[in-house]
Amino acid sequence: MNLALFALSFFVLPVIFAYGDSGTEIDKLLEQGKDYFGQAEYDKAISQFDQILIIDPNNVNALYYKGNTLSKIGKFDEAIPYYEKVLTLDPHKFIAQLKLQEALLKVTSYRFDSLDGMLEVTVHDSHGGLVAFLRTAEIKALKHKIVEDLVDSWPTTKLINQNGKSFAVHQKEFVKVADYDTIFGFHEIPFSEKVDLPLATTWHYQIPVERGDVVSYVYSILRPIS
């Protein structure tokens, strides 16, 4: 072996060994953490996952299992960022999506109630002709932080006064092409991409349509101005 090659191997080999040791150490810590989790020793489990994240802050398994451990001990608000980071790194890890949904629904109390506002449904045929129009009030909703945050993110179209109180009207339109012959009266409002649950629904009369008709749902929600 010539001197140059010997010198190169002297510097490269320790790096290779270091990375190999790091991977082995992460695997060991992960298995220990999962064992502690199974034994309900959650503080010890979190300690193992934290050690992994010091070595590799983007380790999907450690992030996921730390989120699970935090959820297990009721710290859902602390678990949420870990599930969100997992999904940023691995969008196809659907179990993390389900765990995130569960955590989001735990962070605030919720109850069924009605939102102040209305739904307007307009149907046009494929040539642009008006087929139907209706307006309905009282939108039933699951009162939850997700609902509040999402409605707040909708554009404010106008300010109104009603019964001596001031309101901001938040409005959002959803459009789809009919793939059936009747629009049923029960309609779920697509409130959140994070939670795969019908967080809000409304009712209107059934409307006969044809496949290919364009249906526009415009929601107008009144939010009190303090």
What tokens appear for 66 in the block?
């730390």
Continuous H helices in 39-187: 42-55, 60-72, 76-89, 94-106, 145-153
pTM: 0.51
Token match 């010198």: residue? 7
Token match 């299992």: residue? 65
Let me know if 91 is exposed, middle or buried by CB neighbors in 10 A (0-12, 13-18, 19+).
exposed
- Residue 48: CB atoms within 10 A of its CB come to 23
CA distance 199 to 112: 9
Query: Using one digit for the tens of pLDDT, what is the confidence trace for 168-182?
Result: 999 988 888 888 777
- Residue 183: CB atoms within 10 A of its CB come to 20
Nearest-5° Cα angle at 168, 165 to 171: 140
CA distance 222 to 170: 6
Query: Using one digit for the tens of pLDDT, what is the confidence trace for 58-86?
Result: 999 999 999 999 999 999 989 989 998 99
Query: Using one digit for the tens of pLDDT, what is the confidence trace for 140-196?
Result: 766 666 777 778 888 999 999 888 889 899 998 888 888 877 765 556 665 566 655
136 contacts 185 by C-beta, under 8 angstroms: no
135 contacts 119 by C-beta, under 8 angstroms: yes
